[in-house]
Structure formats: C-alpha cells, structure tokens
Amino acid sequence: MTAVSHLRVVFLGSGSAGNATVVTDGSTTLLVDCGFSARETARRMSLAGLRAEDVDAILVTHEHSDHIRGVEVFQRRHGMAPVACTMGTREAAGFSALSGGAVRLVAGEVTRFKTLSVVPFATSHDAAEPVGFRIECDGKGCFGLATDTGVMTAEATEALADVDLLGIESNHDLGMLENGPYPYYLQRRIRSEQGHLSNPDACDALERLASSKLQRVFALHRSTTNNSASIVKRELGARVAAIGLHIPVDVAPQDRVLDSDPPQATLFADESEMQ
C-alpha cells in the first residue's frame, strides 16, 4: 500500500442499502462497518487502490444489516482481522460465532490499533449499544464518524469537537419525509431520538462542532427517498459558510466511492438527482 502522510478516509458507500468506510494512515487500515457483501466491499476497496488483506480491524457501529452484512465473510476471507465492537453490538449481531478474533470496545475508552487510536462514543439509535468513532493518528490527523443517531449526544459532541475530517449523518429533508411515501409510523421512527439526523440536525451539529481544525465535511447516510444530494450540499454548505469556514462539503453516495484523497479536492460530482 502506498504510504500516506495524512489520514485518508474512503467512503465505500453510504446509505440504507449499505455502509462501509476505510480509514488509513498508510501503516494501519481500519474498515468501519461492512454493510455490503464481502465481495462488494473488497471490489470497492480495490477501486480506491486499497487491499482487503491490509485491513487490521473491522470496527462496527451497530448491528443493523446495512452496517454488518458482510462482516463475518469479510473477516474469514481476508486475513481474519479482528471485529471490534461494543458488547451489546456483538450480542445483537450474533458475532459470538466469529471464526476470527474480536475486540471489545467500550464507549469513552481508547483502543489502539497499531498507529491509530479509536475512541467509540455513544450514539442514540434503535440498536443495542450503538457507537460512533473518533479515529486519530498522532500528527497525521483525526477523523470523526457520527451516523445512525437520532440526536447528537453529548458524548458525540465532545468526541468530535476538534476533528480534521468529519463524517456526519444528514439523512432526510423534513419536508420530503413528511410528504413522501413512508407510512407515518416509519416517519416517526426516523424522526425519533433513536432514529436518524435530518439535514437541519446535521447543520446544527456542524455549528457546534465548527473549529479552525475542521478541513472537510462528508454528509452520510442520505436517504434516496426522503432527501437529495443537492439539498444536503446546499444546506450544509450554507451553514458552514455562515459559521465562517471555507471548507468543502461532500455527500457520500450510496453507489460510488468517495475518497478524501487528494486532500481538499472533490473527486466526484454530486450524486444524480434521479434517485
């Protein structure tokens, strides 16, 4: 693998059909969630020039299938990297029979994977013990990931206060959700405190998390039914500008890879409005 002198984050895909993100500093490579099949995850990694065999650990945010679909097969097929998650996620996901190793993560406690430090923080979601992650490499940067959370928890706000790269859920537009095809009970679930962050929720979170260190924002888990990439980009971009930050906001697509390399560049155009 090519050495990088900074933290590189590659979103392999983001949304309710599957989530997976690679974080690497060139020495250590972490896969965060594996919500696609193992084969599809490896394929998307190869598109970004990454090797599945280089994964040192598979971190899991929570047990929903769009985050764990390929975990067991990926571990078995690609080097037996340990699966790292909270005890609640491990039990709810049925990871007790993993063929490879497991690492227990505890919210608020640092776990080191070679050159990368990981701090999980509690999120608020309809799952057993869900977490987001702060992933840091000394001198090379810090990435924060907060997705599948109905509210920005105090723990999330604290953990993400000074990250360089931020991935934050911007799931739905309130008007599109209300006027869209989802039945009322599902709308309530999405909007609940254990659901998903809306575009305005993500904007408010950005305002709280804004710091001079923040270099880039990636909007995650966008609903293809109840949101559009252009709305997300416009609303989050406007809020970032209003805060006085001049940084790019990108929307991670469901069907394509979004790479933080090269730094400060948008590699891909917005996802099509057709979806």
Q: Which is nearer to Zn ion, 74 or 210 (CB)?
A: 74
Q: Which is nearer to Zn ion, 4 or 17 (CB)?
A: 17
User: Shortest distance, CB of residue 147 to Zn ion, whole angstroms?
Assistant: 7
User: Shortest distance, CB of residue 86 to Zn ion, whole angstroms?
Assistant: 14
Chain residues 216-255 in contact with Zn ion, contact rule CB under 5 A: none
Q: How many amino acids of this chain bind Zn ion (CB under 5 A)?
A: 3
Cα angle, residue 205 at apex, residues 202 and 209 outer, rounded to 5°: 135
User: Shortest distance, CB of residue 116 to Zn ion, whole angstroms?
Assistant: 23
**Residue showing the smallest CB distance to Zn ion in the complex:** 64
Q: Which is nearer to Zn ion, 64 or 216 (CB)?
A: 64
Q: Which is nearer to Zn ion, 124 or 260 (CB)?
A: 124
User: Shortest distance, CB of residue 180 to Zn ion, whole angstroms?
Assistant: 18
Asked whether position 169 contacts Zn ion by CB under 5 A, the answer is: no
User: Shortest distance, CB of residue 256 to Zn ion, whole angstroms?
Assistant: 18
User: Shortest distance, CB of residue 174 to Zn ion, whole angstroms?
Assistant: 19
Binding-residue pattern over the window 184 to 203 for Zn ion, x denoting contact by CB under 5 A: --------------------
Q: Which residues of 22-32 are buried (b: 16+ CB within 10 A; e: fewer)?
A: bbbbbebbbbb
Q: Which is nearer to Zn ion, 22 or 68 (CB)?
A: 68
Chain residues 18-57 in contact with Zn ion, contact rule CB under 5 A: none
User: Shortest distance, CB of residue 148 to Zn ion, whole angstroms?
Assistant: 4
Chain residues 64-83 in contact with Zn ion, contact rule CB under 5 A: 64, 66
Q: Which is nearer to Zn ion, 64 or 239 (CB)?
A: 64
Chain residues 115-154 in contact with Zn ion, contact rule CB under 5 A: 148
How would DSSP label each residue in the chain? ----SS-EEEEEE-STT--EEEEE-SS-EEEEEE-S-HHHHHHHHHHTT--GGG--EEE-S---HHHHTTHHHHHHHTT-PPEEE-HHHHHHHTGGG-SS-EEE--TT--EEETTEEEEEEE--SSSSS-EEEEEEETTTEEEEEE-S-SS--HHHHHHTTT-SEEEEE--B-HHHHHHSSS-HHHHHHHHSTTS--BHHHHHHHHHHH--TT--EEEEES--SSS--HHHHHHHHHHHHHHHT----EEE--SSS-EE-PSTT---SPPPPTT-
Residues that bind Zn ion (CB under 5 A): 64, 66, 148
